[in-house]
Amino acid sequence: MKSFRVDLWEENEYTYKQSYGFMPNIMAFLHDEDDKKRDAIIVAPGGGYCMCAPHEGELVAMEFYKKGMNAFVITYTTDITFSEPLKTQPSDDLARAIRVVRYNSEEYRVNAGHLAICGFSAAGHLCATVATHFDDLKDKNPKYAEISCRPDAVILGYPVITSGDFTHGSSMEALLGRDASEEEKTYYSLEKNVTENTPQCFIWQTLGDSLVPVENSYLFAEALKAKKVGYAQYVFPSGDHGLSIASDEMFAGWKGGDYSMEQLHKVIEHVKDDTLVGVSKRRCKELKEQFLSGNNQEPPKPDPNKPFVNPFKDIAMWPELAYIWMSRVFNI
């Protein structure tokens, strides 16, 4: 395997105020055993537009790498301080990532016309934003300006979709701020923005999701159906939010992909030093309690003396289902 990091923006292109030295990037995982061009996927970890959760990044990317794809994990712009609405920055990051992969398709040995994106929770919203608004996501850099950012296939895991009754409020607050206009809310209520040119989608969620209501997935599927856009939808009967690939490896306490938390780590350093800029005293206090109080508990580890039985073996099948679906989409 060949693995490396690529920063997405060049000098003076990236100006998000709450970056604290962070640069959006992709981590590449490429097959290097031959010169074959491969289908590719960019995985966007969720995290409420506040962070990029590692277990929804590299762990997922490697599932598709094992199936023969070249895989990338994007670490896009987030804001856990809720002080600077993200607006278009995350979708600009993902659009640039798509263009970077296509621009370098020869070097990366990627089939530029077989590029999928995959996002979870708030990153599902991010991927659906690019899927519905790709025509609006222009790139000022001449190197990328003529390269399409329309994905060829989209995978959405327990996605935030709507800004309406079934929304995830804190995700929308991080993205748009508390004073978003009705026009902005409508623009980012993605079930209202599906067109005939929206790429085909694979959607999965659980009925038991207590954080992002399953209605988000239903709304988007119905919008795709109304516009005659192909989709697959799987709604699993049990399981809460954030299950990622629900594999034995994950439940055994998988560790890795911490690079996706880079921006959060930089923010925490400024929390320690009391050097956050433009963040309310109340939010600074909340962040100190969350990250510096020492009260963060490690998740319970499996008892090595008891055989582990994965309670979500059905959910763990979704990557295989998605891969079969993608193969059909790419071969049309």
Report pLDDT for 161: 98
Report pLDDT for 234: 98
Domain coverage including residue 217: 2-294+313-330
Report pLDDT for 297: 60
Report pLDDT for 293: 85
Report pLDDT for 307: 76
Please compute, for residue 142, the number of CA atoms within 13 A of its CA located in the half-sphere on the CB side: 0
Give the CATH number for residue 34. 3.40.50.1820
pLDDT along the chain (332 residues), means of 10: 97 93 98 94 98 97 98 98 97 98 98 98 98 98 98 98 96 96 98 98 97 98 98 97 95 92 97 95 95 72 76 97 97 72
Sign of CA dihedral 5, 11, 12, 17: positive
Which pair of structure tokens corresponds to residue 146?
């003529």
**pLDDT tens digits, residue range 64-107?**
999 999 999 999 999 999 999 999 999 999 999 999 999 999 99
Q: 142 with 71: CB under 8 angstroms?
A: no
Report pLDDT for 304: 72
Is residue 238 included in any domain, yes or no?
Answer: yes
Q: Enter the pTM of the model.
A: 0.96
The count of domains in the chain is 1
Gap between the Cα atoms of 160 and 166, Å rounded? 9
Sign of CA dihedral 241, 78, 186, 118: negative
Report pLDDT for 224: 98
Coil/strand/helix, residue 93: helix
Is residue 217 included in any domain, yes or no?
Answer: yes
Report pLDDT for 309: 87
